Amino acid sequence: MKKNARYRSLFILILTLVVYSCGVSKFIPEDEVLYAGSEIQIETEEDTVKINQVAEELNTLIPQEPNTKILGMRLGLYYHFKAEQEKPGFLNKWLNKKIGEEPIYLSDVDPQRVEKLILNRLDNRGFFNSRVTSQIDKTPKTATITYTTKLPRPYRLEKFDLQKDSLPIYSEIQDILANTPIKSGNRFDLELMKFERERIDNQLKQRGYYNFNADFLIFEADTNSYDTPKFDLLLRLKKNTPSKSIIPYTIDSMTVFPKYTVGDTTSVAYNSIVNGINFIQEEEFFKPKQLQPYILFEKGQKYNANTARLTSNRLSSIGSYKYVNIQFKEKDTIAGSDGSGALDMDIFLSPLTKRSVRAELQGVTKSNGFAGPGISVSYNNRNVFGAGETLSITGSFSYETQLSGGSNTGLSSIAGGLKTDLIIPRLVPFSPSRFKYNVPKTKISLGVDFLDRSQLYTLTSFNTSYGYTWNANKYVYHELNPISINYVNLANTTDEFDQILDDNPYLKSSFEQQFIAGLNYKFTYNELVDENKSHPNYFATSLDIAGNALNLLNGGKETAFGLDYAQYAKMDVDFRYYLRWKNEQTFITRLYAGLGVPYGNSSTLPFVKQFFSGGPYSVRAFQIRSLGPGTFVAEDDDDSSYFDQSGNIQLEGNLEYRFPIFSYLKGALFADVGNVWLTYEPEISEDETDEGIALIERLKTQGKFDKDWIKELGAGVGFGLRVDIQSFVIRLDLASPIRVPYLPEGERSRVPFFDGGDDNLMLNFAIGYPF
């Protein structure tokens, strides 16, 4: 107790010295006082007025914010003053550059101007004849301002009418007003009227009114008909509205230039016409019949701004064009017999470079101790068959050796692969007409990979898939692969690896079932694409089902094409919440959960489909695949633990605070928690070795998911540095455990960066952000 008291006293003393040293009063000029903020007090005659909402809006009108305070100290202001001294020192200059703030004095604030702003805003919100006063409260070095606002009863809407005329546009506006947010009983609200003008304008532009503008609409409020605070509202067109703005326009002609470059002449004879659309190209670059379905307009159709935007999106999504420019020109004719105008539509498409080759040299280091060089070469051919198809061929080769890892030091691996993707910008063999926002793409993939792990095994894998990807809107993305086949052949196993398999029947079972055929689907909702959102969400879920079709086609047989095939269902969800604020600061919360269930032919999930925990994209205080399942821990001499520590269920949570340091260098503080478990008991066959039986018994008792799973979560904290150059990120994270689940109960908690000995620190090097 005395020791704790001494620590507490020392902490109070240090805090007192910090507070004293960070005082700014001595730097304030004699004729100035610091502005310490403002308060708005509201009095109202009507109980139904939501005072908190009014106060929140009025607070936004106060232009000056006082200097920032942290734990009662104005650190930004303090380091600004220190940097202004004759000999500021490097540290004070650097801190001023990072967090320094110019002083805000009372003389910088104009209370009378704020009063006028408040009165104007209240008038716009229906509180006519409001009163606002201000009072300044001073101390020797600071001052606050209190604005007292007295609100009368607000003016509320009694009747809302549209001034009518025989012109067709009035019927259109009347139809649009069926969904107006302006309702009887609403408080007078100028911003709502502005919003309604923009809404009507947007709707009219979707009904052919190409030249209309929101400024042509005017609201007139009449308060003279009532003795109480009520008003009538009339909407009409301004008298000087141009005649061409109140007639709808139809598409009279459509011309597409599939291979346009700046400076090209457009006076070329039409060389092909498809469904009334003229396609001009000196030689066939893009097949007109394949390009036409991306254009949502038809000849004789009314102009629609939304259709024009969607057509541009669809053409851009093909992947063959860097620029899409849609232009509309008014015809030099008077309105037609139906009172409409006419437009010519021209679409100019500027292609990307048709062929490209890209080579990458890589230096790889992994959390499991493997490091080495690699090379990757990619070839892309856009519009390869003249209908927007993209052919990509990628070859890769790498060599890795384990630089550290106890008895495993010196292990090496050689890996290589060849992958071919053909992306077809349409839904083969279905029609794309139902997809307005973005036409789905058909993706056909074929690949082969090999991995030669010295002293262990050689793996050769073949994979192919056929599926579709599409964006339903700005935020929603779908990926569906109805055909997904993966075959892995394990060969050239050494006696050492054979012994590992014999001693681990759970691992052996997962390696035996290497023919995987099924379907998978992924859904993503991503608000991060909108940089203006301060609170974006991210949600992704995927579903992977294998073996059912083969089981049905083979009448329930356990083999297909002479091979054992896997049967399982696997699903995961990933939710993230981002809180952004000024100076590129972000706070992220992430929750992840995954579950895989083997059935039928399979007693375990295939090894490549299992979950693992730990590493640079998971719980960073633990090595990759070193956490779990449950409280399982590898024996001291168990070199095969890398294979053992996986499961069919995973739970994980992360918190991360990201902030800039300078230029391209960013910093982060983070906390991670998670683990993997087994929801089923591995089976023991009659011919198992003693080591295999012992391992399975350990997995049964230590790796099973049960009601005490919270006590078995691994957790860690840390900090990191990231070099972020135009979204290319090199990341270095240093983490330390605060809870180690494989230790005995009562000994699992640690003081990070101090307890734990050699395994107390974990350095992660990675490319890209973890989430």
Using only the alpha carbons of the chain, give its radius of gyration: 34
Predicted confidence (pLDDT) at residue 677 exceeds the cutoff of 80: yes
* φ and ψ of 353, to 5 deg: -60, 130
* φ and ψ of 695, to 5 deg: -65, -45
What DSSP letter does each residue of 27-45 carry, written as one string?
Answer: GS-TT--EEEEEEEEEEES
Kindly indicate the confidence band of residue 408, based on its pLDDT and cuts at 50, 70 and 90.
Answer: low
The pLDDT mean for the chain works out to 85
Distance CA 518, CA 655 (A): 35
Distance CA 408, CA 369 (A): 9
Kindly indicate the confidence band of residue 184, based on its pLDDT and cuts at 50, 70 and 90.
Answer: very high
Tokens of 209: 């009114």
Cβ atoms of residues 464 and 420 within 8 Å: no
In this predicted structure, what is the pLDDT of residue 686? 61
Compare 529 and 72 and report the one with higher pLDDT: 529
Cβ atoms of residues 212 and 170 within 8 Å: no
In this predicted structure, what is the pLDDT of residue 432? 55
Q: Look at the alpha carbons of 103, 106, 107, 108 in this order and tell me if their dihedral is positive or negative.
A: positive
Residues above pLDDT 90, as percent of the chain: 44
Best CA proximity match to 547, nearest among 596, 489, 490: 596
Compare 549 and 47 and report the one with higher pLDDT: 549
Distance CA 596, CA 605 (A): 7
Best CA proximity match to 766, nearest among 736, 729, 713: 729
Cβ atoms of residues 149 and 122 within 8 Å: yes
Write the pLDDT tens digit of every residue in 246-272: 999 999 999 999 998 876 665 555 588
In this predicted structure, what is the pLDDT of residue 7? 43
Cβ atoms of residues 600 and 570 within 8 Å: no
In this predicted structure, what is the pLDDT of residue 4? 46
In this predicted structure, what is the pLDDT of residue 506? 65
In this predicted structure, what is the pLDDT of residue 337? 54
Tokens of 623: 């090595």
Residues above pLDDT 70, as percent of the chain: 88
Predicted confidence (pLDDT) at residue 8 exceeds the cutoff of 60: no
Q: Which residue is listed with tokens 């506006």?
A: 173
Cβ atoms of residues 601 and 593 within 8 Å: no
Compare 726 and 752 and report the one with higher pLDDT: 752
Helix or strand or coil: residue 256?
A: strand
What DSSP letter does each residue of 319-357 carry, written as one string?
Answer: SSEEEEEEEEEE-SS---TTS-EEEEEEEEEEEPPSEEE
Q: What burial letters (b/e) apply to 558-571, b meaning 16+ CB within 10 Å?
A: eebeeeebbbbbbe
Predicted confidence (pLDDT) at residue 406 exceeds the cutoff of 50: no
In this predicted structure, what is the pLDDT of residue 178? 93
Distance CA 291, CA 256 (A): 9
- What average pLDDT does this structure show over 73-79? 80
Q: Between β-strands 321-330 and 341-351, what pairing exists: parallel, antiparallel or unpaired?
A: antiparallel
Best CA proximity match to 762, nearest among 366, 483, 390: 366
682: preceding bond cis by omega (within 30 degrees): no
In this predicted structure, what is the pLDDT of residue 578? 96
Predicted confidence (pLDDT) at residue 12 exceeds the cutoff of 80: no
Q: Tabulate helix, strand, coil % of the chain (nearest 5).
A: 25, 40, 35
- Range with the lowest mean pLDDT among 19-23, 312-316, 445-449, 757-761? 19-23
Predicted confidence (pLDDT) at residue 688 exceeds the cutoff of 70: no
Tokens of 730: 């090199």
Write the pLDDT tens digit of every residue in 502-525: 777 666 766 665 788 999 999 999
429: preceding bond cis by omega (within 30 degrees): yes
Predicted confidence (pLDDT) at residue 21 exceeds the cutoff of 60: no
Q: Which residue is listed with tokens 């993503």?
A: 524
Q: Which residue is listed with tokens 């992360």?
A: 654
Predicted confidence (pLDDT) at residue 653 exceeds the cutoff of 80: yes
DSSP summary character for residue 61: T
In this predicted structure, what is the pLDDT of residue 556? 73
> What is each CA distance from 544 to 309, 478, 547, 745, in whole angstroms?
35, 14, 10, 36
Q: Look at the alpha carbons of 319, 320, 323, 329 in this order and tell me if their dihedral is positive or negative.
A: negative
The number of beta carbons lying within 10 Å of the beta carbon of residue 91 is 11
Half-sphere exposure of 733 (CA within 13 A, CB side): 32
Tokens of 192: 């709502």
The number of beta carbons lying within 10 Å of the beta carbon of residue 261 is 10
Q: DSSP H helical segments within 412-561, as ranges?
A: 495-503, 505-512, 548-553
In this predicted structure, what is the pLDDT of residue 269? 54
DSSP summary character for residue 386: S
Distance CA 47, CA 372 (A): 72
Distance CA 111, CA 596 (A): 64
- Range with the lowest mean pLDDT among 47-56, 154-163, 654-663, 717-726? 47-56
Chain centroid to CA 199: 29
pTM comes to 0.76
Predicted confidence (pLDDT) at residue 695 exceeds the cutoff of 60: yes
Predicted confidence (pLDDT) at residue 694 exceeds the cutoff of 60: yes
In this predicted structure, what is the pLDDT of residue 20? 42
What DSSP letter does each residue of 553-585 carry, written as one string?
Answer: HTTT-SEETTEEB--EEEEEEEEEEEEEETTTE
End-to-end CA distance of the chain: give it in Å, rounded.
Answer: 44
> What is each CA distance from 485 to 522, 550, 673, in whole angstroms?
17, 11, 34
Predicted confidence (pLDDT) at residue 499 exceeds the cutoff of 60: yes
- Range with the lowest mean pLDDT among 147-151, 443-447, 696-700? 696-700
Cβ atoms of residues 443 and 468 within 8 Å: yes
In this predicted structure, what is the pLDDT of residue 379? 95
In this predicted structure, what is the pLDDT of residue 71? 67
Predicted confidence (pLDDT) at residue 474 exceeds the cutoff of 70: yes
Residue 195: burial class (beta carbons within 10 Å; 0-12, 13-18, 19+) = middle
> What is each CA distance from 56 to 39, 42, 50, 59, 188, in whole angstroms?
11, 11, 10, 5, 18
Distance CA 767, CA 647 (A): 26
Predicted confidence (pLDDT) at residue 14 exceeds the cutoff of 50: no
Write the pLDDT tens digit of every residue in 212-225: 999 999 999 998 88
Write the pLDDT tens digit of every residue in 346-381: 999 999 988 999 888 776 655 455 677 888 899 999
- Apex 479 CA angle, 478 and 485, nearest 5: 165
Query: SS in 3 state form for 163-210?
Result: CCCCCHHHHHHHHHHHHCCCCCCCECCHHHHHHHHHHHHHHHHCCCCC
- Range with the lowest mean pLDDT among 140-149, 408-417, 486-495, 640-649? 640-649
Distance CA 771, CA 616 (A): 11
DSSP E strands in 118-155: the ranges are: 131-138, 142-151
